[in-house]
């Protein structure tokens, strides 16, 4: 399907109709849980002054501590942009959003016909390394660009998403990787019919020395204690753990990446609360196979749940929230939007953001509608 064919108000519906592998069960019912676009930030200067200082400081840091020449060049580009007084506006970020939206749909035979899910996962894994005690990790420095972190088992397959975003970075060299990856996650969620995710720019490119140690992301073979250890470390509570886990409405597991196999829902390129509904409505049995322990639905044996997904209906506290989200997509959208927005900002010092209030980025459909009026 060409880009232009998708550039109309029916674009999302057309994409869903074209989904190759799964029949779509849930009604498409877009619900917005967030207020209309916040007022435009008055100026981005604060960021760029901050970025200039950070980048210049960073460049000094680089000279003494890093051997990666390409990073010096990249930081140099940021410094040059600052010197040239280039101040990106919300419009500039919308252009990046739109480019990502095009790429999401231009997936051909890849998985279920969309790069959306893998982009959401990139944004989550770049943010979910945060440790609130040491204040290390998170989305600020985009350290998954560097080998120790890129090669962590949990990040297997995310090279697909990083390579896609590299193309965008070439077209918009002024954007930091952290902003680009998180904005791509926002675009993916919103363009796959999910809730609005408030977002704002301000992340800066870091250095290899800031990469996080292995083991900060969740291990799917573990139980409730592990989930709490991992997510409490980021600063989340039980309700937020459950809300965030609903992202598994999207995408699938790949045997050659995580070892697990299959999708969680029948509509893996549309954001719905089906993940929660299926957890309660289907009978889940352990899959008999030579792979790692995972569950499958008894009826069709085509869907899967990870042990960590199943914990959400076994643990009393988690189950309470999972039930609320199974019963109300609206409730889940509201809580998911809030938790994802927080997740994508982990590790970014507040003073780095260009605006005190995050922006609501318009979807491609909304932009088309706006143009017509
Ligand atoms: Fe996840 N996730 N995730 N996940 N995740 C996988 C795929 C995707 C866990 C393990 C896996 C979140 C939480 C958890 C997405 C988003 C989010 C895969 C399969 C595993 C394994 C990877 C592969 O084989 O390619 C575990 C464990 C947890 C947990 O304990 C809570 C969260 C919080 C999110 C989020 O975005 C907020 C998405 C999307 C995918 C599908 C990727 C794809 O390529 O498709």
Closest approach atom of ligand 1 to CA 258: 24
What the block records as the tokens of 280 is 């309660």
The structure tokens listed for 19 are 């989904």
Check residue 78 and give its pLDDT.
Answer: 57
Sign of the torsion formed by the C-alpha atoms of 335, 336, 340 and 346? positive
Distance 248 CA to ligand 1 centre (A): 6
Structure tokens that stand for 185 in this block: 């996650």
**Total domain count, the chain:** 1
- Indicate if 124 belongs to the active site: no
Q: What is the pLDDT of residue 86?
A: 85
Residue in this structure with the two tokens 């942009």, named with its chain if needed:
81
Range of the domain at 269: 88-363
Token representation of residue 51: 């970025």
Q: Cα 117–200–242 angle (5° rounding)?
A: 45
Q: pLDDT value at position 303?
A: 98
> How many angstroms does the Cα of residue 353 sit away from the middle of ligand 1?
27
Residue 320, in any domain of the structure: yes
CA 244 to CA 94: how far, in whole Å?
25
Q: Is the CB of 140 under 6 A from ligand 1?
A: no
Angstrom distance (rounded) from CA 50 to CA 154: 32
Residue 116 beta carbon below 6 angstroms from any ligand 1 atom? no
Instruction: State if residue 362 touches ligand 1 by the CB under 6 angstroms criterion.
Output: no
CB 299 within 8 A of CB 345: no
Name the residue with the closest Cα to ligand 1, atom 38: 121
> Which residue's alpha carbon is at the smallest distance from atom 17 of ligand 1?
247
Residue 36 located in a structural domain: no
Q: How far apart are the C-alpha atoms of 370 and 364, rounded to whole Å?
A: 10
CA proximity to 227, closest of 53, 219, 364:
219
Considering only CA atoms, which of 258, 127, 114 is closest in space to residue 193? 114
Nearest to 78 by CA among 210, 206, 185: 206
For residue 124 and ligand 1, the question of a CB distance below 6 A is answered with yes
Confirm or reject: Cβ of 258 under 6 Å from ligand 1.
Answer: yes
Inside any domain, residue 118:
yes
- Ligand 1 atom having least distance to the Cα of 256: 24
Q: Which pLDDT score, from 0 to 100, does residue 62 have?
A: 30
Index of the ligand 1 atom closest to the CA of residue 336: 37
CATH number at residue 224: 1.10.520.10
Instruction: Tell whether 188 is covered by a domain.
Output: yes
Catalytic residue among 48, 125, 181, 199: 125
Q: Is residue 58 part of a domain?
A: no
Residue nearest to atom 11 of ligand 1 (CA): 220
Is 67 a domain residue?
Answer: no
C-beta of 243 in contact with ligand 1 (< 6 A): no
Q: Is 125 in the pocket of ligand 1 (CB under 6 A)?
A: no
User: pLDDT in tens for each of the 373 residues of the chain?
Assistant: 333 333 333 444 444 444 444 433 333 333 223 333 333 333 333 344 334 434 433 332 232 233 444 544 455 555 555 556 789 999 999 999 999 999 999 999 999 999 999 999 999 999 999 999 999 999 999 999 999 999 999 999 999 999 999 999 999 999 999 999 999 999 999 999 999 999 999 999 999 999 999 999 999 999 999 999 999 999 999 999 999 999 999 999 999 999 999 999 999 999 999 999 999 999 999 999 999 999 999 999 999 999 999 999 999 999 999 999 999 999 999 999 999 999 999 999 999 999 999 999 999 999 999 999 8
Torsion sign over Cα 339, 341, 344, 347: negative
Nearest residue (by CA) to ligand 1, atom 22, is 253
Q: Give yes or no for residue 220 CB within 6 A of ligand 1.
A: yes
48 is catalytic: no
pLDDT of residue 80: 54
Strand stretches in the chain, DSSP E: 252-253, 262-263, 284-286, 295-297, 304-305
Instruction: Let me know: does 161 contact 120? Beta carbons within 8 Å.
Output: no
Task: For residue 306, give the H/E element and its range.
Answer: none
Contact 339, 243 (CB under 8 A): yes
Is 22 domain-assigned?
no
User: Are 293 and 284 within 8 A, CB to CB?
Assistant: no
41 alpha carbon to ligand 1 midpoint, in Å?
Answer: 33
């Amino acid at each position: 399907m060409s880009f232009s064919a998708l550039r109309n108000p029916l674009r999302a519906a057309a994409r869903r109709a074209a989904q190759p592998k799964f029949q779509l069960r849930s009604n498409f019912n877009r619900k917005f849980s967030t207020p209309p676009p916040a007022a435009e930030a008055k100026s981005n200067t604060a960021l760029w002054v901050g970025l200039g200082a950070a980048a210049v400081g960073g460049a000094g840091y680089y000279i003494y501590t890093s051997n990666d020449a390409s990073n010096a060049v990249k930081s140099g580009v940021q410094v040059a942009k600052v010197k040239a007084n280039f101040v990106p506006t919300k419009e500039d970020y919308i252009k990046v959003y739109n480019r990502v939206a095009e790429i999401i749909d231009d997936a051909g035979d890849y998985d279920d016909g969309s790069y959306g899910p893998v982009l959401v996962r990139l944004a989550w894994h770049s943010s979910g390394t945060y440790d609130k005690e040491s204040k290390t990790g998170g989305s600020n420095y985009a350290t998954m660009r560097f080998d120790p972190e890129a090669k962590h088992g949990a990040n297997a397959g995310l090279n697909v998403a990083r390579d896609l975003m590299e193309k965008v970075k070439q077209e918009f060299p002024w954007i930091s990787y952290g902003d680009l990856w998180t904005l791509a996650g926002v675009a993916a969620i919103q363009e796959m019919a999910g809730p609005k995710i408030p977002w704002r720019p301000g992340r800066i490119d870091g250095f290899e020395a800031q990469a996080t140690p292995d083991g900060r992301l969740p291990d799917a073979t573990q139980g409730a204690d592990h989930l709490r250890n991992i997510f409490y470390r980021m600063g989340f509570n039980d309700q937020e753990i459950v809300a965030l886990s609903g992202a598994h409405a999207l995408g699938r597991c790949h045997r050659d990446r995580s070892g697990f196999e299959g999708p969680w829902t029948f509509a893996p390129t549309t954001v719905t609360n089906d993940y929660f509904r299926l957890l309660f409505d289907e009978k889940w049995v352990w899959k008999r196979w030579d792979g790692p322990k995972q569950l499958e639905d008894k009826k069709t044996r085509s869907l899967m749940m990870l042990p960590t997904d199943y914990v959400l209906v076994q643990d009393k506290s988690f189950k309470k929230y999972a039930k609320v989200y199974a019963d109300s997509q609206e409730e889940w959208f509201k809580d998911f939007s809030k938790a994802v927005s927080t997740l994508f900002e982990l590790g970014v010092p507040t003073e780095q953001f260009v605006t005190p209030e995050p922006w609501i980025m318009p979807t491609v459909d909304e932009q088309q509608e706006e143009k017509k009026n």
